[in-house]
Amino acid sequence: MNTDLQDFSHKRYNILTGEWVLVSPHRAKRPWQGQNESVSIESRPKHDENCYLCAGNTRINGEQNPDYKDVFVFTNDFAALQYDSNSFSSIEGLLKVESEQGICKVICFSPDHSKSLADMDVQDINKVVKAWQNEYTELGSKDMINYVQIFENKGAVMGCSNPHPHGQIWSQSTLPNEVDKKDKHQKAYFSQTKNSLLGDYLKQELKANERIIYQNEHFVVLTPFWAVWPFETMIIPKTWQKDITSMSKTETLAFADAISVITKTYDRLFECSFPYSSGIHQAPTNGQENKHWHWHMSFYPPLLRSATVKKFMVGYEMFGSPQRDITAEQAVKRLRELIN
């Protein structure tokens, strides 16, 4: 690797989105005088009678949660997308609009209010993975659903309003922006080379071994070369698979293991329940072959140098490009040291 990358300002290209990130390694040592977030160190009960996700509790719309024992999925009471809304589209001069239909679900990872994925054992995470697979299949099989977005917002700093371990699944009739970019770039590479863009990238990363954090038989956890968030990571299947339903049973367990390892490692980094947004990008469910897709899961954590200092995407990042000081390679070094 070019050693200039650790000393001089440069920009790195994201092969999946076609966007650039500005990297400023020479600034990494500047003193911090900005905002500190408060650390939430409250220890939570296993069951909270005021939590609308805990088993047996009544939600705001009056429905009662079942006495679930592992994973529980339900349709979001305040969904961002409507399933049976009117279909319309119009162009008036420069004003363009299209209706969007969809189904939004909430997935409780565990009945235990006090846990996060990092505290759950691999077998229990595996149940979450299976639920994701079922939802992708079921939602994706509906005519009007052409994409299924699985994600988790963890921590108050990420705007997560409820500490109960849970994620969301938003499915809709068109591709959202981030997915559309990745769809186009993977498709272009595939039509030129007949190979997987991410598969070829993974080969190069495994050879270089500079940004690999962890790997098991079927998955690699790495910090992508073009990472924007200080401790961003990506889980990539070693086999070229277009979506999460392509995994064998051994592979789902290996995926659960990879999730377990990276979330535990994150918690060790600043000795806190590490906040992040994570999500799975995979093939659209639009009835096409989508051979060019290589699914992957990304973690975008906001923390920068401690449990109380987070990265802000403001100023130049709003008006120009995302920017980071600590390089991907320096972040990987820190994370690698924390893997048990």
Minimum CB separation from Zn ion for residue 97, in Å?
A: 38
Minimum CB separation from Zn ion for residue 263, in Å?
A: 18
Report whether 123 contacts 54 (CB < 8 A).
no
With contacts defined by CB under 5 A, name the span among 109-117, 181-189, 273-281, 316-324 that binds Zn ion. 109-117
Q: How many residues bind Zn ion (CB under 5 A)?
A: 6
Report whether 171 contacts 149 (CB < 8 A).
yes
What tokens does 102 get?
A: 């969809």
Q: Does 54 bind Zn ion (CB under 5 A)?
A: yes
Report whether 197 contacts 189 (CB < 8 A).
yes
Of the pair 48, 180, the CB lying nearest Zn ion is at 48
Report whether 223 contacts 233 (CB < 8 A).
yes
Work out which of 15, 104, 110, 113 binds Zn ion, going by CB under 5 A: 113
Q: Which residue's Cβ has the minimum distance to Zn ion? A: 51
Instruction: Name the helix (H) or strand (E) containing 193.
Output: helix 177-193
Report whether 81 contacts 103 (CB < 8 A).
yes
* Whole-angstrom distance, CA of residue 199 vs CA of residue 205: 10
* Whole-angstrom distance, CA of residue 324 vs CA of residue 332: 14
Site string for Zn ion, 12-51 (x = CB under 5 A): ------------------------------------x--x
Minimum CB separation from Zn ion for residue 216, in Å?
A: 31
Q: Does 164 bind Zn ion (CB under 5 A)?
A: yes
Q: Does 108 bind Zn ion (CB under 5 A)?
A: no
Q: What is the CA radius of gyration of the chain?
A: 20
* Whole-angstrom distance, CA of residue 163 vs CA of residue 155: 7
With contacts defined by CB under 5 A, name the span among 108-116, 236-244, 249-257, 329-337 that binds Zn ion. 108-116
Minimum CB separation from Zn ion for residue 47, in Å?
A: 7
Which residues pair with residue 89 across a beta bridge?
Answer: 98
Task: List active site positions.
Answer: 166
Q: Does 53 bind Zn ion (CB under 5 A)?
A: yes
Minimum CB separation from Zn ion for residue 108, in Å?
A: 8
Of the pair 113, 154, the CB lying nearest Zn ion is at 113
With contacts defined by CB under 5 A, name the span among 53-61, 76-84, 165-173, 301-309 that binds Zn ion. 53-61
* Near Zn ion in 292-321, by CB under 5 A: none
* Whole-angstrom distance, CA of residue 202 vs CA of residue 195: 12
Instruction: Name the helix (H) or strand (E) containing 149.
Output: strand 147-154
For Zn ion, the binding residues (CB under 5 A) are 48, 51, 53-54, 113, 164
